[in-house]
């Protein structure tokens, strides 16, 4: 995967921007091809703006901040103007434009129901930002299997599939049986009491009988989008 921004030092050069409340890893993109991503939940608006400013000063783009609410996004938009974009469903802010798509193929992001869309959109926006063409296939859960089967050709055309589901968590297993590509399964916290905040979906996905299904944490759309991008760029990292 091509690197972002200017080249950093070697793996032992722990270059950071010390902001007092945070030590921003300015060498991460040299190791991973992606600048440090800000987890916005639990941080103040001023802290998020300061970290984004440090990344901007180091020439590391695009810089992402996840789990932003409207107030934090508004503060960042005020600070950076048109350079900052906010994706409210995904709750992601992005400083700088997305990379040009240069992956091996398409990342298909599939979700079972409309209630799963925030997690699915987090995955989709992250994948797009990291230089992937993304196909969104939403509200195709197994309770109406015909909806999923109607998109079988789109699923099979993808290089990697991200499958998001709560409730019974069955969607990734069904998708895994339909496609030859790797499937990144994402349990969502959508569901009634016995879903235990996504735990039942997580266990169902971990116990999938479909080969080629890997699982990330509950509601971790960011992790799924990042991993899908890595798979879609396999062999292309500079």
pLDDT at 179 over 70: yes
Domain end (from 75, 95, 115): 95
pLDDT of residue 31: 86
Indicate whether 84 belongs to any domain.
yes
CATH number at residue 130: 3.40.50.1970
Indicate whether 31 belongs to any domain.
yes
Residues 145 and 182 in one domain: yes
**Contact present, 64 and 98 (Cβ < 8 Å):** no
pLDDT of residue 238: 39
Domain that holds residue 152: 106-232
Indicate whether 223 belongs to any domain.
yes
pLDDT of residue 7: 39
Domain end (from 67, 95, 123): 95
Identify the CA nearest to 213 among candidates 178, 173, 171: 173
Residues 206 and 118 in one domain: yes
pLDDT of residue 233: 94
pLDDT at 68 over 80: yes
Residues 63 and 140 in one domain: no
Indicate whether 2 belongs to any domain.
no
Average pLDDT in the 65-72 region?
97
Q: How far is the C-alpha of 178 from the C-alpha of 200, rounded, in Å?
A: 23
pTM: 0.90
Q: How far is the C-alpha of 55 from the C-alpha of 61, rounded, in Å?
A: 7
Q: How does pLDDT run across 4-49, given as a tens digit for each residue?
A: 344 343 434 468 899 999 999 999 988 888 999 999 999 999 999 9
Residues 152 and 205 in one domain: yes
Secondary structure class of 160 (helix, strand, coil): strand
Indicate whether 44 belongs to any domain.
yes
Residues 113 and 71 in one domain: no
Indicate whether 27 belongs to any domain.
yes
Indicate whether 6 belongs to any domain.
no
Domain end (from 50, 71, 95): 95
Total domains present in the chain? 2
Q: How far is the C-alpha of 105 from the C-alpha of 110, rounded, in Å?
A: 16
Average pLDDT in the 127-141 region?
97
Residues 62 and 115 in one domain: no
Indicate whether 227 belongs to any domain.
yes
């Amino acid at each position: 995967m091509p690197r972002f921004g200017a080249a950093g030092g070697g793996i032992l050069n722990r270059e950071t921007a010390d902001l007092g409340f945070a030590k921003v890893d300015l060498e991460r993109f040299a190791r991973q091809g992606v600048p440090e991503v800000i987890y916005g939940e639990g941080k103040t608006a001023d802290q998020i703006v300061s970290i984004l400013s440090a990344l901007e000063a180091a020439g590391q783009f695009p810089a992402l901040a996840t789990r932003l609410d409207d107030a934090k996004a508004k503060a960042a938009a005020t600070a950076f103007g048109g350079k900052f974009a906010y994706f409210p469903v995904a709750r992601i802010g992005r400083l700088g434009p997305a990379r040009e798509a240069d992956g091996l193929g398409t990342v298909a992001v599939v979700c079972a129901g409309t209630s799963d869309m925030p997690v699915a959109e987090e995955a989709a926006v992250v994948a797009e930002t990291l230089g992937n063409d993304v196909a969104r296939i939403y509200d195709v859960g197994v309770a109406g299997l015909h909806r999923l089967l109607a998109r079988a050709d789109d699923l099979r055309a993808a290089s990697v599939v991200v499958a998001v589901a709560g409730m019974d968590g069955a969607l990734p297993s069904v998708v895994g049986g339909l496609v030859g590509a790797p499937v990144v399964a994402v349990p969502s916290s959508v569901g009634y009491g016995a879903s235990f905040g996504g735990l039942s979906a997580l266990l169902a996905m971990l116990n999938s009988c479909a080969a080629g299904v890997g699982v990330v944490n509950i509601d971790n759309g960011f992790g799924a989008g990042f991993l899908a991008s890595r798979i879609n760029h396999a062999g292309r990292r500079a």
